[in-house]
Chain A
Amino acid sequence: MKRIKVAIIGAGISGASIARVLSRYDNLEVHLIEKNSDVGWGVTKANTALIHGGYDDDPKKFPLRAKLCIQGNRIWHQWVKELEIPHIWNGALIVALTEDDFDELETLLERGIKNGVPEMRIVDKEEALSLEPGLNPKALGGLWIPIVGQIGPIPAVVAMVENAVSNGVKLHLETEVKGIKVENGEVKGIETNNGLIDADIVINAAGLYADEISKMVGIDYFEIHPRKGEYWIFDEDVPGPRRVLFPTPTPISKGVVVTTEISGHLMIGPNAQDLPKEEKENLATTMEGLNEVWEKAKKIWPNLPPKSKVIRTFAGLRPEPSGGDFIIKAEEEVYGFINVAGIRSPGLTSAPAIAYEVKEIIECDLGITLTEKSHWNPYRRDITHFFMTPREEANRLIATNNSYGKIVCKCNKVSEGDILEAIERMKFIGVKTPSIDSVKVRTKATSGTCQGTFCKVRIVQILAREYKVEPWKVTLKGKGSEIGVGDVKVLLRRAS
């Protein structure tokens, strides 16, 4: 049987979901291509991590967003179980601070009903405050959407990629797409810094760069521009809400969210700042942006902690497409080229539904009959997390391998055993450049109160040992971010 070669560009939440769904078919040979040294480091790395309810998007204006968001939400319930992705289903409350806000909430409720979102309802002041006791006492009520949840976005990508690789997908890291080979109106392959990769189908899930990839085959009817959002994260002892709290939205934004993220830290953000098209790498936080977030969050959550309780600030870039809706289609001019572009919010929520959409496009628009594997494995087991392991189980683990008894990250109680498992998984999918961030997203080490000031150095030692590289060549987050410049005498040697 001749297998059809599929190249997916971009190992973000979209590309990884597609890879997982396509890994199910026997007659496909799936290649997932990513320029970074690990998966999930594009747009997916920095977002609010919400599995949205699906009531935001007007199906007339943004039909794909409206349809795929609620579908995605439902599929995630199954995927988080199969793939052991950290998650919580805690519901969301959109807070009304003025009487006028209720008009907007009514509109959202209507839209939710149209989009098929279950269980939504408007609540009065009393119920809003009982759902969320720390809410601004001046709140007048809200819209309650119990189906909203939160997941770990990069852990989700990691989980899907591990699952896809175990089902036969080949991941190409540190492989940047430079061009796409098209002959007689059909895609033939992709040109990368690591040479040509043959492909019959190319799926463009390149996030912020999807417009540039699309241009490589001459399709340029859309552009992607970055829209920055900034966040604050506070120490775990700062009390946060139980629900995801939204302000009543405005036409441009869902507004600054106040939430307790899944690892238990109060998080506020994002704002929305449009950047020029060229600034797709501008992930810098700014005082102005962070202050804006602070002021807005305070309106619904008056008990913001002192700034000394901040453990991290960060920024993400939403890939905003011209037109506003997701662009998911087989482009007719070039057979085999599928755009999955403009996957802005709610892209994380929609990702699994996007993947099934792509699968249908392959079947219906490209006319390919897919045959299922007899042994497709839907499951993936998470690594051990010492902080979640019951004592007896932990003792059993330590008895077989004492590295599980050595705590490396004190703030989050991550053991050396956890880290070794993470490294084994990194190697399994093909991570070549050891980085602290790869360990961080898999284990949570370095993401607590001290931000790694105690444990980074030890993680460097472990990575250096396991990857057999000099410790200073271990990186923070890929090539160019090496932890040091050499051994302590290197500068003196160079000078003499």
Chain B
Amino acid sequence: MMESYDVIVIGGGPAGLAAAVKAKELGLETLLLDENEFLGGILPQCIHPGFGIHYFKEELTGPEFAHRFIEKIKDVGVRYQTSTYVLNIENYSDLEKKIVFSSPKGIKEVWTKTVIYAAGARERHAFEIGIVGDRVAGIYTAGEAQTLMDIYGIMPGKEIVIVGSGDVGLIMARRFALEGAKVKAVIELMPYPGGLARNVMILRDFNIPLYLSHKVVEVRGRARVEKIKVVKVDENLKEIPKSEFWIDADTLLISAGLVPNVKLLQRIGVEIDPSTGGPIVNELLETTVPGIFVAGNALLINDLVDYVAEQGELAAFGAKEFIENEGIPSKRWIKLENGQNIRLLAPHYLSGERDVYVYARVSTPMENVKIVFPEIKKELRFPILRPAEMLRIRLRAEEIRRAEKKITMEAIPQ
């Protein structure tokens, strides 16, 4: 007889760990699978502080945050398996899925009623952002360099140029500077920095020049990066002719954003929201394929681990509700849509039966902003909103119920 579970959680990062703990606590038969040899996802390589301020109410490093969850996994007795790569999810029916995975023990199939997909994201690489020139050593994504340094203890290079001023790029700028490398520049396409204000401070602390409205277009070198070409861009992000200059460096770090890792889901027909890159979900984080839930960076790119863990737990509640009712009961769902200056949001469908946290990002930075939901006459004021900072807004059940069919979210000047 084939093994069977209530929930299989795919991915042992913070979203998956939180989901598995909660699912088990809710009394569901749970199996957690991760392809790495260790649990924690990318957290073990994030040795800087800034994790868990909301969830644990104290500031932890990535490995510390992961450790607390891994202890919980053991305390509540979740079954888990590492070095296990999910090859396929088969949607046998709305009530049953078959998971095929490979591990050092062989290729195996197990049945499950629900899946919580928490497989994280991948980084955008140099080719994807249109950099041309030589294909040489010394071009790394930020996360790749972080793994090299903080998991394997390898120093990638000496003179660094970083593409992208998001938090990851900024944190890596500091990491390189602290290890004695010369960070020659951070190049940012947009006219404003991409990271949290406290991380942008790093550049001043270490005297690292930040070029806003600039773009790396070319890399040259024989075997390894030797020089990097930068151009200035105008308001429409178009290159300004003759504005180019070269920076000598041996390493180019690409920190140009993440893409939810959803290929396995796409293969079984899960519908994707082009603005988040992740699945379209209801308020329980269920995708368009019944019984498949998603959480963390596979849902949308988060900047705080606390929100990721929260999404994992919510997905576990979703799985519980699914199992108890043999499917999430049909409802008249209210669609949540992004309006003016809202770049992305999730979840996409709300019932009005419970309070919901909406995660969203604005498209461009704004000062003195109102976030409005016109259909339900809700307004919130913010002194400043930046695309780098994910908004998390609670909509109360009774507020949601004021809408008929849809609710629009907009960011407009006060």
Contacts and interface: CB of A to CB of B under 8 A. Distances in A.
A183 interface: no
Contacts of A184: none
A285 interface: yes
Contact of B143 (A286, A453, A492): A453
A477 B223 contact: yes
Given A453-B141, A456-B144, A313 B132 contact: yes
B80 interface: no
Interface in B85-124: 85, 87, 102-107, 122-123
Contacts of A472: 154-155
Given A457-B147, A490-B155, A312 B127 contact: yes
A388 B135 CA distance: 29
A469 interface: no
A405 B102 contact: yes
Contacts of A487: 153-155
A450 interface: yes
Nearest to B133: A284
A280 interface: no
A478 B155 contact: no
Band of interface residues on A: 35 or more
Interface in A379-410: 386, 391, 394-395, 398-399, 402-403, 405-407, 410
B3 to A, nearest CB: 16
B127 A406 contact: no
A484 B251 CA distance: 10
Nearest to A286: B132
B132 A461 contact: no
A194 interface: no
A450 B179 contact: no
A72 B367 CA distance: 68
Contacts of A399: 106
A1 interface: no
A454 interface: yes
Contacts, number: 149
B304 interface: no
B127 A311 contact: yes
B404 to A, nearest CB: 35
A240 interface: no
A460 to B, nearest CB: 8
Given A413-B87, A484-B156, A488-B154, A402 B127 contact: no
Interface string A59-91: 000000000000000000000000000000000
B125 A489 contact: no
B377 interface: no
Interface string A476-496: 111111111111111110110
A406 B104 contact: yes
Given A284-B132, A290-B132, A471-B154, A402 B104 contact: yes
Contacts of B106: 394-395, 398-399, 405
A284 B106 CA distance: 43
Contacts of B85: 406-407, 410, 413
A283 interface: yes
B24 interface: no
A375 interface: no
A482 B136 CA distance: 10
Contacts of A286: 132
A475 interface: yes
Contacts of B87: 413
Contact of B158 (A311, A471, A477, A485): A485
B298 to A, nearest CB: 14
Contacts of B266: 237
B35 interface: yes
A322 interface: no
Contacts of B157: 484-485
A394 B107 contact: yes
Contacts of B154: 460, 471-472, 483-484, 486-488
Contacts of A460: 148, 152, 154
Given A398-B106, A402-B105, A488 B134 contact: no
Contacts of A273: none
A185 B49 CA distance: 74
B107 A491 contact: no
A307 interface: yes
Nearest to A454: B122
Given A402-B105, A451-B125, A480 B158 contact: no
A457 B147 CA distance: 7
B179 A449 contact: no
A406 B232 CA distance: 45
Contacts of B218: 284, 287
A229 B314 CA distance: 52
B204 interface: no
Band of interface residues on B: 35 or more
B179 A480 contact: no
B60 interface: no
A281 interface: yes
A487 B381 CA distance: 49
B162 to A, nearest CB: 15
Contact of A483 (B134, B151, B156, B263): B156
B137 A491 contact: no
Nearest to A496: B180
B220 interface: yes
A484 B155 contact: yes
A314 interface: yes
Contacts of B179: 488-489, 491-492
Contacts of A130: none
Contacts of A313: 127, 132
Contacts of A237: 263, 266
B83 interface: yes
A394 B109 CA distance: 14
A415 B83 CA distance: 11
A312 B127 CA distance: 5
A308 interface: yes
Contacts of B126: 451
Given A450-B122, A476-B136, A480-B224, A461 B130 contact: no
B356 interface: no
Nearest to A391: B107
Nearest to B109: A391
Q: Which of B106, B151, B179 has the most CB of A within 10 A?
A: B106
Interface in B157-181: 157-158, 179-181
Contacts of A477: 137, 223
A481 B179 CA distance: 21
Nearest to A411: B263
A106 B104 CA distance: 58
B369 interface: no
Q: Which of A311, A451, A471, A490 has the most CB of B within 10 A?
A: A451
B155 A491 contact: yes
Given A479-B223, A484-B154, A403 B263 contact: no
Interface in B169-224: 179-181, 217-218, 220, 222-224
Given A398-B102, A477-B137, A485-B157, 13 more contacts: A237-B266, A285-B132, A310-B128, A394-B102, A394-B106, A413-B85, A451-B125, A453-B144, A457-B148, A485-B155, A486-B155, A487-B154, A492-B179
24 contacts: A287-B218, A310-B127, A311-B125, A313-B132, A386-B102, A395-B106, A398-B104, A402-B104, A405-B83, A406-B83, A407-B35, A449-B122, A453-B141, A457-B148, A475-B137, A482-B224, A484-B148, A484-B156, A485-B155, A486-B154, A486-B155, A491-B158, A492-B179, A495-B180
Interface of B: 35, 83, 85, 87, 102-107, 122-123, 125-128, 130, 132-138, 141, 143-144, 147-149, 151-158, 179-181, 217-218, 220, 222-224, 263, 266
Closest 6 CB pairs of A and B: A480-B223, A491-B180, A481-B137, A402-B104, A407-B85, A476-B137
Interface of A: 237, 281, 283-287, 290, 307-308, 310-314, 386, 391, 394-395, 398-399, 402-403, 405-407, 410, 413, 415, 449-451, 453-454, 456-457, 460-461, 471-472, 475-492, 494-495
